[in-house]
């Protein structure tokens, strides 16, 4: 198929990742890049052989050679550019999180119309392990799902020599902290593996900013959370028990479990070295455990490429992408409820 002509807006860290990924796919061709910092956009164009550069993302949107855009810039400005892209009839791959809040996400969905639009928070579901887990859950082997548990903790390291990006832990720039940066991956992943059968209703949550001992590890002025814990009650009584933290005074830990009336599934957010283990309830023997999927040491699928190529395929084939913004909206609504619950100190409806 003819490659989709793409413009990349934002040539920072994640923008350069997208440029590198696009260079590996025959399904896309980057024809233009844009960034407010002249040195950065020129370096990106030179490194990846892109002919056209723009200082403003809005200028790139007007380029008639561009069919679709990758929006790889901070959350507080992505929404406006996405709306403009849709107005120009351009398809869009939007970095995560989808928006500053659910209300903004709903506006994007309305403006999208028949165009193709996807969000980066869904890329984890292109992993082989996610596919295997989703197919296994769909067989009904777990019975009725009662609990989804996710605990993902990153231990703090030494204070960095250079400060992390300011936007990462600034509510005004990113809408929040770890919940916006990683929570969108986590919730999209577990809800997707469960086949989107879980319908969140109520959230009770708490968030915390960086512990004083690690204040030197984050950018000055950071005011967003580095640790979040939430209990999400879903329709019918199923519960999502969620915790994610970074810069933690604790050893790193990752535990993902989906439990039902017939058994429990132990899984991981990444393919590397992972195995999916099924604990099956047995009347005679109690619990029997078996591996239902393993990476077998094979190289993990690059989810950036898989996500981008599904996006490009949807554009060229006139179909809907494998990951829709309507699902991402569910994740953002839960995120909004988590922040509201933490602020109010009470349970909040999703």
Domains delineated in the chain: 4-123+304-322 (3.40.50.720), 125-297+331-349 (3.30.360.10)
Segment 14-30 mean pLDDT: 96
Using 50, 70 and 90 to split pLDDT, how confident is the model at 110? Answer: very high
Query: Tens of pLDDT along 232-246?
Result: 999 999 999 999 999
* Per-residue pLDDT reduced to its tens digit, 133-164: 999 999 999 999 999 999 999 999 988 888 78
**pLDDT tens string 307-331:** 999 999 999 999 999 999 999 999 9
**What pLDDT, on a 0 to 100 scale, did the predictor assign at position 203?**
98
What torsion do the CA atoms of 338, 341, 346, 350 make, to the nearest 10 degrees?
Answer: -60
Supply the mean pLDDT for the chain. Answer: 94
Split at pLDDT 50, 70, 90, the class of 298 is low
Q: What is the pTM of this model?
A: 0.95
């Amino acid at each position: 198929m003819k490659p989709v002509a793409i413009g990349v807006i934002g040539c920072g860290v994640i923008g350069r990742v997208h440029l590198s990924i696009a260079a590996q796919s025959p399904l896309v061709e980057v024809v233009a890049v844009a960034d407010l910092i002249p040195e950065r956009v020129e370096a990106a164009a030179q490194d990846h052989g892109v002919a056209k550069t723009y200082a403003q993302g809005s200028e790139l949107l007007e380029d008639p050679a561009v069919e679709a855009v990758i929006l790889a810039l901070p959350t507080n400005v992505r929404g406006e550019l996405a709306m403009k892209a849709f107005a120009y009839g351009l398809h869009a791959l939007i970095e995560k999180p989808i928006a500053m809040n659910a209300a903004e996400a709903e506006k994007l969905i309305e403006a999208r119309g028949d165009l193709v639009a996807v969000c980066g928070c869904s890329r984890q579901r292109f992993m082989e392990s996610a596919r295997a887990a989703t197919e296994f859950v769909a067989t009904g082997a777990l019975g009725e799902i009662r609990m989804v548990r996710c605990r993902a903790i990153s231990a703090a390291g030494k204070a960095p020599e250079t400060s992390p990006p300011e936007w990462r832990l600034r509510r005004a720039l990113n809408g929040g902290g770890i919940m916006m940066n990683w929570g969108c991956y986590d919730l999209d992943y577990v809800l997707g593996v469960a086949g989107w059968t879980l319908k969140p209703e109520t959230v009770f949550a708490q968030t915390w900013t960086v512990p004083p001992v690690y204040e030197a590890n984050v950018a000055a002025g950071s005011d967003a959370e580095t640790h979040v814990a939430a209990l999400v009650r879903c329709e019918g009584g199923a519960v999502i028990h969620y915790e994610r933290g970074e810069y933690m005074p604790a050893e790193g830990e990752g535990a993902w479990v989906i439990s039902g009336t017939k058994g429990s599934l132990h899984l991981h957010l990444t393919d590397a070295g992972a195995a999916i283990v099924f604990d099956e309830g047995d009347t005679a023997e109690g619990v029997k455990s078996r591996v239902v999927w393993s990476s077998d040491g094979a190289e993990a699928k690059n989810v950036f490429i898989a996500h981008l190529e599904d996006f490009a395929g949807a554009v060229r084939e006139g179909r809907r992408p494998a990951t829709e913004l309507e699902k991402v909206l569910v994740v953002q609504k839960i995120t909004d409820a988590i922040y509201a619950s933490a602020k109010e100190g009470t349970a909040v409806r999703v």
